[in-house]
Amino acid sequence: MTNVLYKKQDVKQADIILRQDINKSNSALEYTKIKVIELEAGQQYDELLGNWEACVVALTGKISVYAGDDAFENIGKRKHVFEKNSTDSVYINDNQQFKAKAETDAKVVLAYAPSNNKLPNRLIAAEDVPGEQRGKYSNNRTAYTILGDSDNYANSLLVVEVFTDSGNWSSYPPHKHDQDNLPEESFLEEIYYHEMEPEQGFVYQHIYTDDRSLDELNAVKHQDCVIVPAGYHPVAVPDGYDSYYLNVMAGPTRSWNFYNEPDHEWIINRD
């Protein structure tokens, strides 16, 4: 059985709280990985990247990011995720030492993907990440695309934030991107990092393939992660709770071409 649910951690590394650390050593993923860290004001996180590019997302609080000769100081737009606005991020290319320093108490997501072509480090400012409404009826959510396949800012990495209101479905109708069959479908592994408001809430996420060789339904709680090595991956948000998730995607080609499950595709064609 493939493990897809990664529960929130409470691990301290040099006084930094590590909430998630999903990588090749503990998952079925080859093309992407993630860390979620919490820093108190004045603390910093340092890392030497190998052949991976990274996106540093200032999830909450203010941080400064230093990579090579570049400094991106006092970035971050939210005190709380469920302000439901966009935030600042920094793209960092491979084989560099980088540092994320907390200017206030902060929560940071580090998203990674393989890299084989030098691109400049750059700030992805919140004002350059507009919200996009997706879905209709009980399938409404707002997406903020930090790194999308229509830009040339990364080699492999795709990063999106999604807010889904109480009682709605998300990543719906069920879709997948596990076949290297462009232009109809691209192969992209995916990681979901979830938060809830209020924090005691949960969502349901179903990960399943056509042949049901992978068929996992999980109650996902605050700061859990779900990985999608293959298959469909819809999310259901119960009444009374709002959902946030951050998607990290990567594969052999930086293109998000998905395939809707035929039994449920009719949902998007309703008047």
Residue 1: which pLDDT band, with cuts at 50, 70 and 90?
low
Q: What is the pLDDT of residues 176-232, one digit of tens each?
A: 999 999 999 999 999 999 999 999 999 999 999 999 999 999 999 999 999 999 999
Q: CA–CA separation, 271 vs 267, rounded Å? A: 10
DSSP 8-state assignment for residue 46 = E
Question: With 60 as the cut, is the pLDDT of residue 22 above it?
Answer: yes
Tell me how crowded residue 140 is: count the other CB atoms within 10 A of its CB.
Answer: 16
The CATH label, of 2.10.10.90, 1.10.1740.10, 2.60.120.10, 1.20.1250.20, for the domain at 5-269 is 2.60.120.10
* Alpha carbons 184 and 205: distance in angstroms, whole number: 25
Give me the count of residues in the chain.
271
pLDDT digits (tens, 9 = 90+) for 64-122: 999 999 999 999 999 999 999 999 999 999 999 999 999 999 999 999 999 988 899 99
Handedness of CA 54, 38, 167, 3 (dihedral sign): positive
Phi-psi region of 68 (alpha: psi -120 to 50; beta: other; left: phi over 0): left
The whole-angstrom distance between residue 112's C-alpha and the CA centroid of its chain comes to 10
